[in-house]
Amino acid sequence: MSWQTSLDDPRAVRAAIDERRRDLASRASEAAARADAAEAALATARASEARAHAALARHRLQALADDGAAAALDRAERDALAIVERRQAVLDDLRARIADLEAVERAAAATRDARAEALAAAQDAIEALEARVAAALPEDTRWREADAALAALEEQRDAARIKADRAQAEREEKRAPYDADPLFAYLWARGFGTSAYEGSAFARFGDEKVANLIGYDALRVDYAMLTALPDRLAAHAERLDADVVDAQARLDAIEDEALRAAGREPLDEAADAAEAALAEAQAALDEASRALADARAQAAPESDPELARALSILSEAIARDDLRRLEADAARTPSPEDDALVREIATARDAVARAENGVAEIRDARTRARSLAEEAEEALRIYDRGDYARGGRFEDPRRMAGALDGLLVGAGLRVLEEVLRSTYRAPPPPPRPPRRSRSTGFEWSSGGGGIRIGTGSGRSGAGRSGGFRTGGGFGGSRGRGSGGFRTGGKF
Instruction: Give tens-digit pLDDT for 336-360.
Output: 665 676 666 677 777 777 777 777 7
State residue 467's pLDDT score: 53
Please choose, from the candidates 134, 445, 476, 17, the residue with its C-alpha nearest in 3D space to the C-alpha of residue 275: 476
In angstroms, the CA 147 to CA 248 distance is 8
User: Which backbone phi and psi does 386 adopt, to 5 degrees?
Assistant: -80, 180
Provide the 3-class DSSP secondary structure of residue 443: strand
Provide the 10 A C-beta neighbour count for residue 276.
12
Domain ranges (residues) in the chain: 137-265
> Is 211:187 a contact under the CB 8 Å cutoff?
yes
Cβ atoms within 10 A of the Cβ of 15, count? 19
pLDDT band at 328 (very low <50, low <70, confident <90, very high): low
Beta bridge partners of 425: 393
127 pLDDT above the threshold of 70: yes
CA-based nearest residue to 372, from 99, 25, 102, 106:
25
Confidence (pTM): 0.53
The CB density around residue 222, as the number of other CB atoms within 10 Å, is 13
Q: Hey, which residues does 394 pair with through a beta bridge?
A: 424
What does the pLDDT read at residue 342? 63
Q: What was the pLDDT predicted at 316?
A: 57
Q: How many CB atoms lie within 10 A of CB 228?
A: 12
Most confident of 157-171, 232-246, 289-303, 391-405: 232-246
Least confident interval from 36-40, 103-107, 138-142:
36-40
Please, what sign has the CA dihedral across residues 93, 99, 102, 106? Answer: negative
The single-letter code of the amino acid at 273 is A
Residue 63: per-residue pLDDT:
45
Q: What is the pLDDT of residue 452?
A: 28
Q: What is the mean pLDDT of residues 144-160?
A: 94
Mean pLDDT of the chain: 74
Residue-wise pLDDT for 435-471, tens only, equals 544 333 333 333 333 322 233 333 333 333 445 544 4
Least confident of 67-71, 125-129, 393-397: 67-71
- Give the CA count within 13 Å in the CB-facing half-sphere of 301: 10
